[in-house]
Copies of this chain bind each other. A is one copy, B any other.
Amino acid sequence: MSLIVTGTIGIDTVHTPTTAVERVLGGSCSYFAAAASFFGPVRIVAAVGGDWPAEHRTALTSFANVCTEGLEVRPASKTFAWGGRYHDNMNQRDTLFTELGVLEEAPPKVPDAYRDSQFVFLGNTHPLVQADLLAQFPTRRLAVADTMNLWIDIAHQELRALLRQVDGLLLNDSEAEQLTEIRNPISAARRIIEMGPRFVIVKKGEHGAVLVHRDGVAVVPAFPAEQHQVIDPTGAGDSFAGGVMGRLASTNGTDFAAIREALGWGTVAASFNIESHGLERLRTLRRSDLDARFAQFREMVMLG
């Protein structure tokens, strides 16, 4: 089934304790789409500026399943740019700079050809923009939104309105706590379900994720990466989301059991993503690599 992602395309500068890269392709939309593309076609809706490097377009379109018809280039604008520095433990990072660029302008348009999209992922942006985008997919089967602390803080009511319209919400544990004032991620997710969505996925970084659904609870640890495999965690959450939604769209799954299984594919997609800066690792990845690691991971979490 048709999958669409709306979000950011960024130019990332990343420092880790051992490596650094400047101006590589990043942004939620890029990571999501790259991961989702292993499962089937994925349509992107995003905007970039006239400064968007030609090699970034090449990198993104090298994923055969990524449809860029909804990628808007605005020659007079600047692409969103972000710089960050990871701490020694690779789990925390400081933002070095943020240049919003096109993100301060009108949101990108949804091409008419995209309006029949069935699986919709609303990348993190202002909840009013997310609601406006959502309205453009009238025949959707599953809509999932991402969000962040900024919107929980400054657009709380708009976010609450959005929550009444989506099927699922994806957020990390500190955001779940901020939204509900409940520290426990399971109890926080239950409270969020009372606000509207059928399910909530709480991401816990290197500790995996929890799915709280009206029909059940599922838990998935992160893939147990070795130290030398963890090069750059940037985009882990977005490639996780891309793997989850890509898998659901490819199997036409929307129920609890389908989402639980999709969490495993998201986990495995993210585990490859962190093995390089930017999309480098995903660019050389084959679907058979993904399948093999999923089978390995399924064994690792099996309790007989």
Q: In the complex, which residues of chain B have a beta carbon less than 8 angstroms from the beta carbon of A216?
A: 299-300
Binds B, one of A62-70, A103-111, A116-124, A202-210: A202-210
A75 part of interface (Cβ distance < 8 Å): no
User: How distant is the Cα of A301 from the Cα of B210 in the complex, in angstroms?
Assistant: 10
Beta-carbon nearest neighbor of A228 in chain B? B187
B186:A226 contact, CB within 8 angstroms: yes
> At the interface, yes or no: A150 with Cβ under 8 Å from chain B?
no
Instruction: Say which size band chain A's interface belongs to.
Output: 35 or more
In the complex formed, the residue of B with least CB distance to A230 is B184
A225 to B212: give the CA distance in the assembly, Å: 12
> Chain B's nearest CB lies how many Å from the CB of A26?
24
Closest chain B residue to A268, Cβ basis: B303
In the bound complex, residues from chain B placing their C-beta under 8 Å from that of A260 are 302-304
- The distance in angstroms between the C-alpha atoms of A187 and B224, with both chains bound, is 10
B298 and A227 form a contact (CB under 8 A): no
8 Å CB interface, A250-304 against B: 257, 260-261, 263-264, 294, 297-304
1/0 contact trace for A227-239 toward B, CB 8 Å? 1101000000000
Interface pair A219/B89, CB less than 8 Å apart: no
The CA of A103 and the CA of B254, in the complex, are separated in Å by 57
Q: How far is the CA of A204 from the CA of B222 in the complex (A)?
A: 13
A218 on the interface (CB 8 Å rule)?
yes
Residues facing B in A142-171 (CB within 8 A) are none
CA A190 – CA B227 in complex, angstroms? 11
Which residues does chain B contribute within 8 Å of A261, judged by CB atoms? 303-304
Interface status of A221 (Cβ within 8 A of chain B) = yes
- Residues of A76-128 at the interface with B, using a CB-CB cut-off of 8 Å, are 88-89
Which of B208, B227, B230, B301 has a CB less than 8 Å from the CB of A303? B301
Which A residues have a C-beta under 8 Å from some C-beta of B? 88-89, 182-187, 190, 204, 207-208, 210, 212, 216-222, 224-228, 230, 257, 260-261, 263-264, 294, 297-304
Kindly list the 4 A-B residue pairs having the minimum CB-CB distance in the complex, ordered from nearest: A184-B227, A264-B303, A187-B227, A261-B304
